[in-house]
Amino acid sequence: MRSELIVVCGAGGFIGGHLVAELQRQGCQAIRAVDIKPVEEWFQRFPGVDNMKLNLQEADACVRAVDGAHTVSNLAADMGGMGFIENNKALCMLSVLINTHLCMAAHKHRVQRYFYASSACVYAADKQVSPDVVALKESDAYPAEPEDGYGWEKLFSERMCRHFREDFDLATRIARYHNVYGPLGTYAGGREKAPAAVCRKVIQAKFSGAHEIEIWGDGRQTRSFMYIEDCLKGTQAILASDIVEPINLGSNELVTINELVDIVEAIAGIKLARTYNTKAPKGVNGRNSDNTLIKKLIGWEPSIRLRDGLEKTYRWIYDQMAKHA
């Protein structure tokens, strides 16, 4: 049994909630879960966990959050899908306060290991202009031209972690997440990501009988999507490793958004007429994860096919929406 205090920041959110659940399954005895939302609004809550409602953009809150901690995982950010991050650049940038103050507090309290959840949005735009994208390797983040707002905050925070490691011996680890999805997450309201949004739209079409769906962009833009279980395994492996530079954590199963819709339609047993909103936020034309380095260094690779992960995600969202249908 692990008795050292583990702090999960952003624990009321999607990945953070799943991480707390996994830590409990592994027998961790001392877990502190921190989020800005009221505890009753968290996606997952667990008995025996020290749940704290704190605004981690504030320095004093970060000091309280990490007091006594052995390990800190920072998954806290004001973020969402492409619709949110393209229209809320200032809010996304303000998340830099969270990582800055957490690094300072972790140094002050002599935290032994600090994990930062970065994003594939750090990658240079000129490497993502074609749907036939070459999978992005870690060095493709420089020369820097990340996603405006959210991507710049992530890239800056990566550098903050690096310099706290170099100057203050804070043992930092950084994963660049590529589109994590799964059940027990946001699927409506404007902050949801593509897999959840597509599931919701298909379910809405099924419930309403209006067999049509609006797709943002032309449907030819490409992405890879990583199921939450693979994300958790990779995150913990990176945290325990000697990898000090940012490293990709994502699937390399590349699909178009049209193909994503195809898969969800097949799960739902329905076929929908498609309209394309080319004025809606759609992000870069192509993005995929090059997993060469992480496979070489720690042997990690995703194990869950997109079709299988989407089926689990669809079933959960369907059950949630059926309650209010």
Q: How far apart are CA 156 and CA 161, in angstroms?
A: 9
Q: How far apart are CA 154 and CA 98, in angstroms?
A: 11
Which one from 150, 177, 187, 314 is the annotated catalytic residue? 150
Cα atoms in the Cβ-side hemisphere of radius 13 Å centred on 265: 14
Q: How far apart are CA 26 and CA 132, in angstroms?
A: 40
Decide: 62 and 104 in contact? Cβ < 8 Å: yes
What share of residues in the chain are helix, strand, coil (percent, to 5)?
45, 15, 40
Phi, psi of 102 (to 5 degrees): -70, -40
Residue 150 annotated among the catalytic residues of the structure: yes
Query: What's the N-to-C CA distance of the chain in angstroms?
Result: 44
Q: How far apart are CA 201 and CA 317, in angstroms?
A: 11
Q: Please give the positions annotated as active site.
A: 150
